[in-house]
A and B are shown apart, each in its own frame.
Chain A
């Protein structure tokens, strides 16, 4: 049952349990795949042509780690945006932020004359800039007479996503064949990587964004009383809003630049966490980081094993879970969330 309020003790215990579950998931998911891996053999050094070791450390583990980071970042961005917009249906994908990030990344790739989306540490910043500008536009559109209109926000997000998608396809048509192929494959959402450097880069961006957002969480709690209520309780509302937009954009930009469009993680995970742990953002944010990491690890495990040798894009798996979940949420809280 939900506790009356959040204490340090509860904060530490819940996060420790989730962290243990995450580490277990990383280990188990690394062992699951089309080829069996013998963990004991993989851990032994000095065996020549140790295929178990190669598969575990050069194929599976980097991919599982990337899934954890991407899932954690998307869920964290979801919590932050929901708190900021006071809307449980806000999600980076749904409100057009991912679309903006993807557009930013594609433009950067074309301008930079690159064919791949990996191996560059500045690409996440271009995607973050795309995410931030889309967020600014959508937020402005949703302000009617100085008040945030939830349904206008979601509608503007859907329209912006479609618009950004069209622009991406335009750019794609102009791009050369190899670039175009790369863009399409990336857009569907993919976590395959063998690069620990990439994992580390995206990990650092995610850590920075999450730490920054964690500093805003107490203010996000008070913000649920409304702008005026929060102001009267000493919260610098504008500063909190800008800081949260910035942090969420950084997270979404970083993960979209490497893994394309993976939807619904930012919707499903925060909602489940809120149901089980309560509404306090100070706990909800780190718990969603860990929960999102666990969720995407297993979604990606399904994506790469369900059909045997053929891989399904992980974005397809999350959308297949997320679509019905969104409908369920809409039935449950649609009236409230849309301000009807």
Chain B
């Protein structure tokens, strides 16, 4: 077992109909690393994440987790190895918060089973981590978007998977709840979990990710540290618009700001 490389993508290719959605993407994730996936709408970010989680099978190429191809894992083994957090989760029935978090124990249980003491302990610990323990009895339907996302994150933690994949976990959250989620991810990362997150927010990526992958039309346009990838030159090419790129005085991270039309035109002329 090669634990230095928890997750590897080898020449991944995928298409829904004719046009490739993910085209020859290769990279590897290091242990304890947070890798951000960036790119415009329709550049294949979410599809790439679904390939990495094993929900979609690539047309060609291969994903390896801990050195083993995903295809050699059973569904339950995959659930023990990889935890996925979607943008938002709609749950039809009025499950309690604890019940939802306990669903994260599903890959560890078989058939018709009840959760044991250890399962409950793991779930409670996960709820403590994400600050939802005092919501334990509440129905998932009574929660705000921020609370619900923290419950889903606790559910992912309860899986005890060393690899976490997140699809814009802050998509529907305000700025405070978003940074709280990423702070928590950073803590998890320091404990040795390996994390891949899709982001739209370039500044968040620069602030939290060790490396970022910039996608353009399904291809890996550039992969490297935020400072290497999030540049004026790369962004104008990939997003096909002018942006303002600067360095944050406090964090030293790259800052990207949008520009309205008159400023974009002025920049283009200069």
Beyond A225-B89, A231-B55, A232-B79, is A4–B103 a contact (Cβ under 8 Å)? no
Beyond A232-B53, A234-B80, A279-B94, is A215–B112 a contact (Cβ under 8 Å)? yes
Is B231 located at the chain interface by the 8 A CB criterion? Answer: no
Q: Judge whether A222 and B103 touch: CB under 8 Å.
A: yes
Q: Judge whether B137 and A2 touch: CB under 8 Å.
A: yes
Q: Which residues of B in the span 99-128 have a Cβ within 8 Å of any Cβ on A?
A: 99, 102-104, 106-107, 109, 111-115, 120
Q: Judge whether A235 and B106 touch: CB under 8 Å.
A: yes
Residue from B75, B104, B120, B139 with most neighbouring chain A CB atoms (10 Å): B75
Q: Which residues of B contact A259 (CB under 8 A)?
A: none
Q: Which residues of A contact B77 (CB under 8 A)?
A: 234
One of A6-14, A19-27, A197-205, A317-325 at the interface = A6-14
Beyond A5-B98, A278-B94, A279-B95, is A225–B75 a contact (Cβ under 8 Å)? no
Is B91 located at the chain interface by the 8 A CB criterion? Answer: yes
Q: Which residues of B contact A217 (CB under 8 A)?
A: 112
Q: Which residues of A in the span 267-292 have a Cβ within 8 Å of any Cβ on B?
A: 274, 278-280, 282
Cα A194 to Cα B76 with chains together (Å) = 49
- Tell me how far the C-beta of A247 lies from the nearest C-beta in chain B, rounded to whole angstroms: 13
Q: Judge whether B94 and A222 touch: CB under 8 Å.
A: no
Q: Judge whether A234 and B99 touch: CB under 8 Å.
A: no
Is B136 located at the chain interface by the 8 A CB criterion? Answer: yes
Q: Which residue of A lies closest to B119 (CB)?
A: A5
- Encode contact with B along A159-187: 1 for CB under 8 Å, 0 otherwise: 00000000000000000000000000000
- Encode contact with A along B77-97: 1 for CB under 8 Å, 0 otherwise: 111101110100111111111
Is B159 located at the chain interface by the 8 A CB criterion? Answer: yes
Q: Judge whether A274 and B89 touch: CB under 8 Å.
A: no
Q: Judge whether A8 and B86 touch: CB under 8 Å.
A: no
Residue from B89, B93, B94 with most neighbouring chain A CB atoms (10 Å): B93
Is A241 located at the chain interface by the 8 A CB criterion? Answer: no
Interface range for B = 35 or more
Q: Judge whether B82 and A232 touch: CB under 8 Å.
A: yes
Is A190 located at the chain interface by the 8 A CB criterion? Answer: no
Q: Judge whether B75 and A234 touch: CB under 8 Å.
A: yes
Q: Select which of B50, B79, B92, B136 is within 8 A of A234 by beta carbon.
A: B79
Q: Select which of B83, B90, B120, B139 is within 8 A of A5 by beta carbon.
A: B120
Q: Which residues of A contact B50 (CB under 8 A)?
A: 228
Q: Judge whether A225 and B114 touch: CB under 8 Å.
A: no
Q: Judge whether A4 and B90 touch: CB under 8 Å.
A: no
Q: Which residues of A contact B90 (CB under 8 A)?
A: 226
Cα A6 to Cα B100 with chains together (Å) = 12
Q: Judge whether A231 and B92 touch: CB under 8 Å.
A: no
Is A54 located at the chain interface by the 8 A CB criterion? Answer: no
Q: Which residues of A contact B79 (CB under 8 A)?
A: 232-234
Q: Judge whether B114 and A233 touch: CB under 8 Å.
A: no
Q: Which residues of B contact A232 (CB under 8 A)?
A: 53-55, 78-79, 82-84
Q: Which residues of B contact A4 (CB under 8 A)?
A: 96-99, 136-137
Q: Which residues of B contact A3 (CB under 8 A)?
A: 96, 137
Q: Which residue of A lies closest to B76 (CB)?
A: A234
Q: Which residue of B lies closest to A150 (CB)?
A: B92
Q: Select which of B78, B89, B99, B102 is within 8 A of A279 by beta carbon.
A: B99
Cα A279 to Cα B53 with chains together (Å) = 28
Is A224 located at the chain interface by the 8 A CB criterion? Answer: yes
Q: Which residues of A in the span 81-100 have a Cβ within 8 Å of any Cβ on B?
A: 83, 86-88
**Contacts A/B (CB < 8 Å), 12 sampled:** A11-B114, A222-B103, A225-B91, A226-B90, A228-B50, A229-B84, A232-B53, A232-B55, A234-B78, A234-B80, A234-B106, A279-B95
